[in-house]
Amino acid sequence: MPAEGGKTDMERIGLFSEMEYITVGDRYVSQFNRPFNEAASKNRQLLPGGSKEMSSLQAGYFDPHFVRVFEGEGYVNLNQVRRRHMMEEAKKNLGKAFLPTNGEKKRCGLGSYYGTIGGPVPFFSAQSKPKEKYKPPGKNLYTNPGKKGTGYGYANVTIGKQFSHSADFYDAPKLNYKKENEEHHGLLKGTAFKLNLYPREYFDTNPYSFENPLPPIKKAEKKELPTNPFKPSSPGKKAGGMKAGTFDPYPSHSADPYEVKLTSQISSKGPKIFHPPGGPKSRPVESIMTLNVKR
């Protein structure tokens, strides 16, 4: 309807015509029951016509007729072009072609020189070379004729002198050892030296065992106690600054001027310097495990 200014609503908005209402009056179709592609089941569909196989017929190609790369070009024979090139190259030759006098020679077998340029080599010939006649060397100079015999069981066969025979007793080592042992014991003086520090076991089987015999039992002597108390004969002396309270008398004074004594004047009869003895000596000790195994 026209407005107050005399223009319609379409003219005032600036549109040529009013928009259509497409969905007005259409039936409601749920989106769950709506087909996925409704147009695919209507009208004619795409028919490719089946697959084509490669053959010599035109039906095996996509084009309806054979299409050439170049239209209207002339036919060229490659053999004819090759012959023309050979004829042009032959015109450049000054004379005839070189032909060998004879064909190629082939060898007859391994070691054959047939077909070679130089022929056989005399150095590689299989024939034996002439040699001088062998002359055996002369014999050595002999001063005496050779001794007969193999050497085993024969006397005077070796180069040196024959070994002299010496008797060897059956018990010679035993007798020699006995003689040396007697000589050794004859040189000894006294018995063998034994230390008192012979190693013993840590724990004895009987702790109350004693090697030496027990001494006789001593009777306890009863001492008689003094009846009267002890009293000194005189009272104790007191120190009064003059050494009257000491047991010994006052030492006599000796005049000794102060002089430095030389080391040569000092007597060497004074007390000797103490040198400690050596440390304990090692001795074989058996372990507790070994003692238990022996028991």
Report pLDDT digits (tens) over 65-119.
Answer: 877 777 777 788 999 999 999 999 999 988 888 887 777 777 776 767 777 777 7
- By the 10 Å C-beta count (0-12 exposed, 13-18 middle, 19+ buried), 157 is classed as middle
Burial of 110 (0-12, 13-18, 19+ CB in 10 A): exposed
Encode pLDDT of 208-237 as tens digits.
Answer: 777 788 888 888 888 888 778 888 777 666
- Helices first, then strands: H and E counts in the chain: 4, 0
Average pLDDT along the chain, 295 residues, taken 10 residues at a time: 64 70 73 76 75 73 76 84 94 84 73 74 81 86 71 71 81 94 89 69 68 84 82 68 62 71 62 78 82 83
The DSSP output letter for 58 is: G
Closest to 2 (Cα-Cα) out of 15, 12, 20, 19: 12
- The C-alpha angle with vertex 120 and arms to 118 and 125, in degrees rounded to 5, equals 150
